[in-house]
Amino acid sequence: MFLEVLSNSYWLIDLSIGEILKRMKIQTEDDWIAYLKKKTENHKKWNRALLIGDDGAVISQKSHKRMVLCSDTLVEGIHFDLNHISWKDLGWKSLAVNLSDIAAMGATPLGSLLNISTPKKYFGDHLKDFLHGYLKLSSDHKVSLLGGDTTGSPHSLFISVTVLGEVSPKKIKTRSMANPGDLICVTGPLGDSHAGLVIQSFKNESLSEGEFREAIHLSHRREDIPSLSSVIKKSLLSAHYRPIPRVEEGIWLGRQSSVTSMMDLSDGLAKDLTRLCHSSEVRAQIDGQQIPISKALKAFAQDCKKNPLELALFGGEDYELLFTCKEKSFSSLQLRFQKKFKKSLFALGKILPSKKQGPLLEWLHLSPNILAPKPFEHF
């Protein structure tokens, strides 16, 4: 833990902060800690309830709230390839995937712990860029960096982030409370992130193992390279490399009594909705025509001669929220959401009662061959 150094006015080594910031080469752990400390000075003011400690971070909780803990690891060569993703985007995304989990619980994020294991070759400006992206998103949501751990690594970069949030017990939306008759909704269009990954993998000659497997998996071939406008490309790449966690939307949806269950979309609608159905002991009927697809994805799919629904159902890493709500309340919910967030909610299906046998997901208006591929797994 470097908590003690983020929180107190001393240094592990006998260098003044001036000296360290002058050098700022980040060649040792102490350089990195000093840099972190300097860059997070303003974080204390965000959560007055937080008291940052020594061997651990100490957090005071508001009365009648519950703490929520989420943690995810990103591994070089498995989840990302540094030939493709920029260090700033990687920093952003490391926090974003965890904020998305917090959002799915309807919770307000308070602080994060950053554990980073770095091969020596990445010391220096790379780590500064990483932190730039990480702290940009921290600032956007006023999530204090509370501490964490820095270590070396023999080969690959490993990033493990834990986020702590809080929520009123009655506002927690689990996956297990969807009821037959509820509508199935999402907070945004799906599939853009995977399209961004495919574009990037074609842009570069070398594919990471993970990306290669994923591209193969969805049957994209090198000759499919799309000749899209740069605006569309940028939009799809951004969806993949700088996903926006739906934090405010999650808090708002958590407060709505008409919302019955919620989770985030990290592994694709098909896989994640199956999880929700398992958990709630229900089935789901999805209308392929109602699945929201962005204009950018439509253009991309046209160029690739692909069905955009394939990407929307199996692509993953969308980080939109998937939730269910009472059918009679949807119109009002949609209106109020539109007013508050200046964007749409989408209803794409209905929860059905469970059956003893048969698939959990039923599809309307969807070609059966789209359903053939299986979602990609990072393991």
Q: Which of residues 252-291 bind a copy of itself (CB under 8 A)?
A: 263-264, 271, 275, 278-279, 281
Site for a copy of itself in 222-251 (CB under 8 A): none
What distance in Å separates the CA atoms of residue 81 and residue 78, rounded to the nearest whole number? Answer: 8
Q: What is the DSSP letter of 185?
A: E
Q: How far is the CB of 260 from a copy of itself (least distance, A)?
A: 13
Shortest distance (Å) from residue 366 CB to a copy of itself: 21
Give CA torsion, residues 292, 298, 302, 304, to 10 deg.
-80
Helix (H) or strand (E) holding 322: strand 321-325
* Residue range at the interface with a copy of itself (CB under 8 A); choices 62-70, 199-207, 287-295, 342-350: 62-70
Per CB under 8 A, 54 contacts a copy of itself: yes
- Give the whole-angstrom CA distance, residue 348 versus residue 324: 10
Site stretch for a copy of itself (CB under 8 A), options 163-171, 181-189, 214-222, 330-338: 163-171
Q: Which residue's CB is nearer to a copy of itself, number 293 or number 360?
A: 360
Residues 109 and 139 sit within 8 Å (Cβ to Cβ): no
Of 164 and 232, which CB lies nearer to a copy of itself in the complex structure? 164
Q: How far is the CB of 146 from a copy of itself (least distance, A)?
A: 7
CB neighbours of 198 closer than 8 A, spacing ≥ 6? 215, 218, 220, 304
* Nearer to a copy of itself (CB atom), residue 176 or residue 331: 176
C-alpha to C-alpha distance for 130 and 63, rounded to whole angstroms = 35
Phi/psi for 261 (5° steps) reads -150, 160
Q: Which of 86, 153, 329, 334 binds a copy of itself (CB under 8 A)?
A: 153
**3-state secondary structure (DSSP) of residue 184:** strand
- Residues of this chain, 175-214, that bind a copy of itself according to CB under 8 A: 175-176, 209
Place of tokens 């070759």: 121
Number of neighbours of residue 112 by Cβ within 10 angstroms: 29
Strands 321-325 and 183-186: antiparallel
Least separation in angstroms between residue 266's CB and a copy of itself is 9
- The total number of residues written for the chain in this structure: 379
CB 287 within 8 A of CB 183: no
In the bound state with a copy of itself, the residue whose beta carbon lies nearer, of 69 and 293, is: 69
Closest approach of a copy of itself to the CB of residue 293, in Å = 25
Residues from 295 through 354 that contact a copy of itself (CB under 8 A) = none
Select the span of 148-156, 292-300, 305-313, 341-349 touching a copy of itself (CB under 8 A). Answer: 148-156
100 or 256: CB nearest a copy of itself: 100
Applying CB under 8 A, among 90, 127, 135, 146 the residue interacting with a copy of itself is 146
Residue 46 as a binder of a copy of itself (CB under 8 A): the answer is: no
CB of 13 to a copy of itself, least distance (A): 10
122 sits near a copy of itself (criterion: CB under 8 A): no
List the one residue from 16, 60, 179, 206 that touches a copy of itself (CB under 8 A).
Answer: 60
Q: Give the span between the Cα atoms of 214 and 80, in whole angstroms.
A: 12
Residues 6-35 that bind a copy of itself (CB under 8 A): 8, 10-12, 28-29
Contact call for residues 1 and 147 (beta carbons, < 8 A) = yes
- Contacts of a copy of itself in 77-116 (CB under 8 A): 77-79, 100-102, 104-105, 107, 111, 113, 115
With helix as H, strand as E and coil as C, how does 158-182 read?
Answer: EEEEEEEEEECHHHCCCCCCCCCCC
**Rounded to the nearest 5°, which phi and psi values hold at 118?**
-120, 125
User: Count residues contacting a copy of itself (CB under 8 A)?
Assistant: 77
**270 vs 180: CA distance, rounded Å:** 18
